[in-house]
Amino acid sequence: MKNQLSFPLTNRKPGEIIAFDSRGARRVDQFLGEAVNLSKQLPARRYAINLFTDRYQYLLGFTAAIIAGQCTLMPPNRLKATLELLGEMFPDSYTLGDNTLADCEISRNVSRSGPPGEFPPDIPEISAEQLCAIAFTSGSTGTPTPNHKYWGTLRTGTLGNSELLFGELPRRLNMLATVPPQHMWGLETSILAPLFANTAISHLAPFYPQDIADALESLPDPRALISSPVHLDVLLRSGVRLGKLDWIFSATAPLSEDLARKLEAQYYTHVLELFGCTESGILASRQTATESLWRQSASFEFIPGREGILIRGAHLPGEVILPDVIELVGDHRFRWLGRHQDMINIAGKRGSLAELNHRLAAIPGVVDGIIFFPGNNPDRLAALVVAPKLKPAGILEALRSQIEPVFLPRPVYLVSGLPRQETGKLSRKAVLELFEKTSTMHKSGKRL
């Protein structure tokens, strides 16, 4: 008799397609054979740091670690300093990934999945209470914090996500992701979803627009693109043409209504934006081109509290305080107002950094930018802007007609680019470092 507190690694049928790699379509039985085989090769350590850039190899490494009873650490980035810090925090860890990342080795680097294994007679059963991953927040508002993910939470959350994203899938949906698999958005959609929904993921991780187009073209129809607003904006600006694309799924940052509409018009597709946080996973969705309100997932209950909105879910190990400010409007819908850390009060005027940045991004000629507090002074904002054809004075003039004078950023520095992470997010530390460097250059009379 099976343990009632355990769940199978996948509910997919052996002959179904779960992924595409350089060898072609990979069936569930082939995947399971390789995952079980790899699990037997892993070192006897507690934690794995999965650095595979090939998404199918990441899927194999992630599930092999689970089968072996290990926990995968999911750093917010792949910088050597971050990985070394992770190794110090978790000394009983090893890296699992590409040979090119061997210099980040912490104990032993496992660089390949090994020869294919036979389809196992029984699909591995995983305890609902097994710690399978520790996800770290992006650090966009401060220091990254760890969040523990148990198999029961991941499995039940993925089933709810599948209903929210895909609904009933009469045909297999073939997906390409530009977001990293170690980020919760990438993990939930490109690694966990194929284990429980009628989907298959491409092993490719394209960055440049033409590479995205080519990778999509290599997939059978119907197709979906899993991405972020930053990546999608670059794709749209490039003018690259895409073949038939049924869905675009976007998350990690607010997607503007204008960008959503342009994407749908340019690529004859549907854009679904997802809302969530590392602590809870995906919470809600909306078709941003036509909807302003978010539709709450049936997997969660939103409860107003003193410290904000409390999130409850039968699959969550405890209550989660939502790091965002939302307005509940009934019928399981809500309006997003910004993150708690985004809410500002200057000279008695209340505002939101998210709204200010939305206004900045909407200025014609602005490619990228951020408005932020440059230090501990809560009464002065600054801006770093990528706008090759504009001048700071012109940017300020455009903002002056849209926002309160107390919210105007000073100084406004033009830069060649912002230090965005793979997801498109910006860590506060990286923004402040670029601001200090740019400020020093300006004071010396130089320019970046």
Per-residue pLDDT tens over the stretch 269-291: 999 999 998 889 999 999 999 99
Which tokens sit at 264?
Answer: 């749908």
* pLDDT at 116 > cutoff 70: no
Distance of alpha carbon 200 from alpha carbon 18, whole angstroms: 4
Per-residue pLDDT tens over the stretch 58-69: 999 999 999 999
Q: In CATH terms, is domain 6-338 a member of 3.40.50.300?
A: no
Q: Taking the domain 347-443, which CATH number applies? A: 3.30.300.30
Q: Lowest-pLDDT range, 66-80, 138-152, 261-275, 283-297?
A: 138-152
The answer to whether the CB of 124 falls within 8 A of the CB of 11 is no
Amino acid at 52: F
- Predicted TM-score of the model (pTM): 0.84
Per-residue pLDDT tens over the stretch 173-195: 999 999 999 999 999 999 999 99
Q: Which of 41, 66, 71 is nearest to 126 (CA)?
A: 66
* Model pLDDT, residue 117: 59
Write the DSSP assignment of 401-445 as a string of letters: TTS-GGG--SSEEE-S-----TTS---HHHHHHHHHHHHHHHHTT
Write the DSSP assignment of 83-112 as a string of letters: HHHHHHH-SSEEEEE-GGGGGG-SS-EE--
Q: Kind of pairing, strands 24-27 and 17-21?
A: antiparallel
Per-residue pLDDT tens over the stretch 198-215: 999 999 999 999 999 999
* Model pLDDT, residue 192: 98
Q: Lowest-pLDDT range, 316-320, 366-370, 424-428?
A: 424-428
Domain residues of the chain, as ranges? 6-338, 347-443
pLDDT tier for residue 118 given thresholds of 50, 70 and 90: low
